[in-house]
Homo-oligomer: A and B are copies of this chain.
Amino acid sequence: MAVDAMGGDRAPEEVVAGALVAASDEIKPVLFGPRETLAPLAGDLEVVSADQVVGMDEKPADVIREKRGSSLFLACKAVGEGEADAAVSAGNTGAMLAAGLLEIRRLPDVHRPAIAVPLPAIGGPSVLVDAGANADARPEHLAQFGHMGAVFAEEILGIGEPGVALLSIGEEPEKGNRLVREAHDQLAASGLRFVGNVEGRVLLAKAADVVVCDGFTGNVTLKLLEGTITTTLETFREEVTASTRGKLGALLIRPAARSLRTRLDPETYGGAYLLGLRGLVVIAHGNSSRTAVANAIRYAARGARGHVVERVAERLAERVGER
């Protein structure tokens, strides 16, 4: 398991600490980063020296040109060369996508890799694909996102015959923009258990096992969902604690409030999968704590054990064969 020890707002301390927590008989994290920085933190973990570091705001094109020797790139390269079964980073998502494409490469039948993110849905697990890899997408890309999301739901979320929905602005097939209307037809003919269009209204409750959209809509959606949950709960806290009566009430509801925060916390899920490559890549939240990093590493290990990459490859090859 290749861990980019320098990726994320709280690297390297929290990343290395998370790797130490996740390390077990089955999981052997290998840390990528400057040896002198990591040595004092790494304990028993193996370190692979990588002197360059990719900043959170560096542009992918610049990273490709100048940072091939970075911890982020070398972690992906280890996966591409079969030396690691997955790469995990809390770093720059765009750079990770670029490194994945260059060092790990796309699966043969995949048009575009996509980011799959489990949503903190109340009614049970649900996965959003694409959460931001492809700001512009074509209908056939969305159909593939459906297949990749279904494999993810089966192997990672443990859902049999997952239902796949298309995010739109009305449930009727004719609702949506041009992209979504065409994708609807392709998903309906995809062999997936396609459950039709869903609206944003039901996303947090639980819209479907898999929710498909283009990466622009998906990224707006994911950030809006996280921001709205946070702002609603914070505002609630402020309203409640503005009065003495409310302060007392707040003490009494504290366990329930904590439990809700945990249920809705994206860190609980550990990270996003980059699907469609010849190897596994998991991207954790930029501000991941050690717990979130440990979850992301375990989550990557689960994907490796579940042969997610091979399953996506087989599934897409079958679909191509049928056409």
Give me the interface of A with B, judged by CB distance under 8 Å. Answer: 57, 59, 122, 132, 135-136, 167-169, 172, 174-178, 180, 199-205, 214-217, 219-229, 231-233, 235-236, 239-240, 242-243, 245-246, 248-253, 255-257, 259-260, 263-264
A239 touches B260 (CB 8 A): yes
Q: Whole-angstrom distance from the CB of A97 to the nearest CB of chain B?
A: 13
Residues of B close to A226: CB separation below 8 A = 201
B203 touches A227 (CB 8 A): yes
Copies assembled: 2
Partner among B174, B243, B250, B260 whose Cβ is within 8 Å of the Cβ of A235: B260
A221 touches B223 (CB 8 A): no
Partner among B172, B216, B264 whose Cβ is within 8 Å of the Cβ of A177: B216
Residue contacts A-B, CB under 8 angstroms, 14 given: A122-B231, A135-B169, A177-B216, A199-B220, A201-B223, A201-B227, A224-B225, A228-B232, A239-B257, A242-B256, A245-B255, A246-B253, A246-B255, A252-B252
Q: Whole-angstrom distance from the CB of A58 to the nearest CB of chain B?
A: 11
Grouping DSSP codes into helix (H, G, I), strand (E, B) and loop, the A interface class, with mixed when no group exceeds half, is helix
Residues of B close to A255: CB separation below 8 A = 243, 245-246
B216 touches A243 (CB 8 A): no
Q: How far is the CA of A217 from the CA of B256 in the complex (A)?
A: 34
Chain B minimum-CB-distance residue to A236: B260
A220 touches B223 (CB 8 A): no
The 4 closest A-B pairs by CB, nearest first: A249-B252, A200-B224, A201-B227, A249-B253
B246 touches A228 (CB 8 A): no
Q: Whole-angstrom distance from the CB of A131 to the nearest CB of chain B?
A: 10
Q: Whole-angstrom distance from the CB of A223 to the nearest CB of chain B?
A: 4
Q: A239-B256, A239-B259 are in contact. List 5 more A-B contacts (CB 8 A).
A: A135-B178, A200-B222, A235-B263, A236-B257, A246-B252
